[in-house]
Structure 1
Amino acid sequence: MAARTTSPLLTWTSLAPPLALVALVLTWGRHLSAVPVVIVAVVLGLAVLAAVHHAEVVAHRVGEPFGSLVLAVAVTIIEVALIVTLMVSGGKDTDTLARDTVFAAVMITCNGIVGLALFMGALKYRLIAFNAEGAGAALATVTTLAVMTMVVPTFTTSQPGPEFTSSQLAFAAVVSLALYGMFVSTQTRRHRDFFLPVGKDGEPLDDEHADPPTNRATYASLGLLLVSLVAVVGLAKVESPAIESGVAAAGFPQSFVGVVIALLVLLPETLAAVRAARRNRIQISLNLALGSAMASIGLTIPAIAVASIWLEGPLVLGLGATQMVLLALTVVVSVLTVVPGRATRLQGGVHLVLLAAFVFLAVNP
């Protein structure tokens, strides 16, 4: 008797995204009691895992470094939509929402995702290698974007406070889009080999995957990926009142809610980066992490610049002194990590300590 095969439409990774979307529709705008909050949290976790699976399917089909762009850009677009939605709806502390969210995304990606990927990869392979040229180019772009959009506003004098004038904000938006566009062109066309996985000897690694999925399977995974990401961000928003209550009960500042939601939104990229690291594809992990940081700035600032036309109230983009110190330390440590093109558990541990410092100081500013 022939063995029975499971239809791809009946796997949990295919059922989880629409289930999460249904949960989002049923819970959006409602006050949830304890039991529904727990159920939504479980569904949110399933949606995150499903997003990682479908992102890997699409990445396998299109190849690197295109695959790393899929998850980074998709998550960032939805993250931007969430920020703009919250700012339009108004409320407490929305004038710093964009800055806090983008800065949290940069610290989580450059220290959390990078550190975890390096640590997990080195834990299995001891000494891990990546392309210093590609990682260095990505880091330089992220640093320029972060300084131009979040450090410079603190020192401009045309507008009181850490804010841009309208012309300065427009300039920052154009520069952000230009830098992001140039990097994507470099990554996917002229110097694509800089962003491909390499071995300890610096030579490109052979592809160990099975045959690529069909076009039909790829399009199905792309659609389910987008559904998963919408559900992840939406359910994170649904869970935010419970998170706010938990943060208040713990005595943490209300701004810490943005850090928690940023952690939830970046979960798919984190899991995908760790999986790549466990397969000794460290360059893919770095592409995901630094690409996500770059997209978070390069797409968010232009979107906020356009939205500011009808948004009321100030738009604070400049970082405080403590945040600038953490950003400067992150850049220095990242440069020292990237330059050799190889890393051990120590480099991963240093980045994770920086993430811990960021989270601790967000709790105790």
Structure 2
Amino acid sequence: MAGRYRTLAWRAVPLAGLAAAFALSSLPANDSALGLVLPLVGLLVLMGVVFACVWHADVIAHRTGEPYGTLVLTVAVTVIEVALILSIMLAGEGKPTLARETVFSVIMVVCNGVVGLCLILGGLRYGEQGFRLPGASAYLVVLMPLATLTLILPTWTTSMPGPFYTTSQLAFVSFVTIILYAVFLYVQTVRHRDYFLSDLGGASEDHAPPGQRQLWESVVLLLVGLVAVVLLAKGVSGSIETAVVSIGAPTEAVGLLVALLVLLPETVAALRSARRNELQKSLNLALGSSLATIGLTIPAVSLLAIVLKQPLELGVDMHDTVLLVLTFAVSLVTFAGGRTNILPGFVHLVLFAVFVFMVFVP
């Protein structure tokens, strides 16, 4: 009975979020009281819709199976992330560093925070967990050059001063990024689909796959929820920056907050899979998020910057470069043997703690 009410609630949340988005946009915000309350209400509604979107994406995932299931989750989260980034970039005077900060934060949160927690949770319960080595290698072999091209190389180019690409460089790198991600998707879903299947001793799901009617309901409600997220993001973008400024945090914390907001539901799904001894599915969710963030977010933001002739600061500074290179080096060791335990999990979690600390104490 509780599960039935929970299902009905998740079905209602996207529709309620869409209605709230239209209602909030039509209310006058010049009143000081409304100016404080409306962004907070919008943020709470946005979080509820985000969780609902991921729930419906998970229903679709159970029907389509792996690796299409995690791909649906990843694309849904990426759409939410792009909506938030574009809304904040276009608000006020604009924020040319937000895309860089968010993408870098997503990589750190996923490759260190989420992966570390999954390895620790699974290791404490099962001792060791196995995964498909070719699948993990496929993620890393694409993720490392994509992160280098979009976050490190702009700092060292000479055609334009500062950590910026010229328009031609930005267009070329965006094109290469899309090509690499498209090839990866082909390998993941067609050519070598078995690399990403979770069949190494994972527990079975605790519920049956959804029926055809429930599947199409979730498809429609997922689309409705994503539209609601896009509409709510415009009103919430200002409140995110206000919250960061009010606690005296640096502006880089905006990217971290956006990353945590959009990755929270997917993190819960990854941890749940690790707890069921389905580490491969956890890696599909985690590492797939990093790939989709670069492969889809960077081209979308770059297109916006080119069309609107806005500056887009992509290159990270030296201490972020060190953290990025160290993260990839540790990941290569972590996923080199096909089995993991709690030790690499704690190493990744320490790297994540260092990243968060450096955001507030650079």
Same fold (TM over 0.5): yes
Give 1:105's aligned residue. Answer: 106
Q: Which of the numbers 279, 287, 292 marks the counterpart of 1:282?
A: 279
RMSD after superposition = 2.6
In 2, the alpha carbon distance for the partners of 1:299 and 1:121 equals 30
Q: CA deviation at 1:155?
A: 0.7
Q: 1:238 to 1:347 in 2, by over 3 A?
A: farther
Question: CA offset at residue 206 of structure 1?
Answer: 7.2
**Displacement after TM superposition at 1:240 (Å):** 4.4
Residue number in structure 1 paired with 2:171: 170
Following superposition, the deviation at residue 273 of structure 1 comes to 1.0
How far apart in 1 are the matches of 2:306 and 2:233?
Answer: 27
- Indicate if the aligned counterparts of 1:52 and 1:268 stay in contact, CA closer than 8 A: yes
1:265-304 → structure 2 map (5 Å cutoff): 265-304=262-301
Alignment-derived partner of residue 84 in structure 1: 86
Q: Report how far residue 87 of structure 1 moved.
A: 3.0
Q: Hey, what does 1:214 align to over in structure 2?
A: 211
Instruction: Kindly state the Cα deviation for residue 297 of structure 1 after the two structures are TM-superposed.
Output: 0.6
Residues 96, 310 of structure 2: 8 Å contact kept: yes
Indicate how the Cα distance of structure 1 residues 334 and 28 shifts in structure 2: closer, same or farther if over 3 A, else same: farther
1:156, CA displacement in angstroms? 0.7
Q: Which amino acid aligns with 1:69?
A: L
Deviates more, 1:131-140 or 1:225-234: 225-234
Aligned to 2:77: 75
Alpha-carbon spacing, 1:53–1:187, altered in 2? closer, same or farther (3 Å): same
Cα displacement string for residues 310-351 of structure 1 (whole angstroms, at most 9, x for unaligned residues)? 223422111111110110111011111111111112222221
Q: What is aligned with 2:329?
A: 332
Gaps of 5+ in 2: none
Q: Which moved more, 1:331-340 or 1:209-218?
A: 209-218
Determine whether 1:355 maps to 2:352: yes
Q: 1:95 to 1:239 in 2, by over 3 A?
A: closer
Partner amino acid, structure 2, of 1:105: V
SS at match of 1:309: helix
Q: 2 CA distance for matches of 1:197 and 1:121?
A: 14
* Sequence identity (%): 48
Residue aligning to 1:65: 67
Q: Is the 8 A contact 1:244 1:257 kept in 2?
A: yes
Tell me how far apart the structure 2 counterparts of residues 292 and 339 of structure 1 sit (CA, whole Å).
20
1:114 aligns with 2:126: no
Structure 2 CA distance, aligned partners of 1:314 and 1:131? 41
Measure the CA separation in 1 of the matches of 2:358 and 2:349.
14
* Equivalent residue number for residue 160 of structure 2: 159
Q: Which residue of 1 aligns with 2:56?
A: 54
CA distance in 1, matches of 2:342, 2:226: 31
Q: Is the 8 A contact 2:88 2:237 kept in 1?
A: no
**Distance in structure 2 (CA, Å) of the matches to 1:12 and 1:90:** 35
The equivalent residue for 2:305 is: 308
| Change in CA separation of 1:230 and 1:120 when aligned onto 2, cut-off 3 Å | farther
The answer to whether structure 1 residue 190 and structure 2 residue 153 are counterparts is: no
Instruction: Using structure 2 for the length normalisation, give the TM-score.
Output: 0.89
- List per-residue Cα deviations over 1:178-219 (Å, max 9, x = no partner): 11011111111111111011436xxxx575454422222112
Count the aligned residue pairs.
357
Deviations along 1:279-328, one digit per CA (max 9) or x if unpaired, are 11111111111111111111122223322232234221111111101101
User: Which residue number in structure 2 is paired with residue 252 of structure 1?
Assistant: 249
**What residue is the counterpart of 1:135 in the other structure?**
136
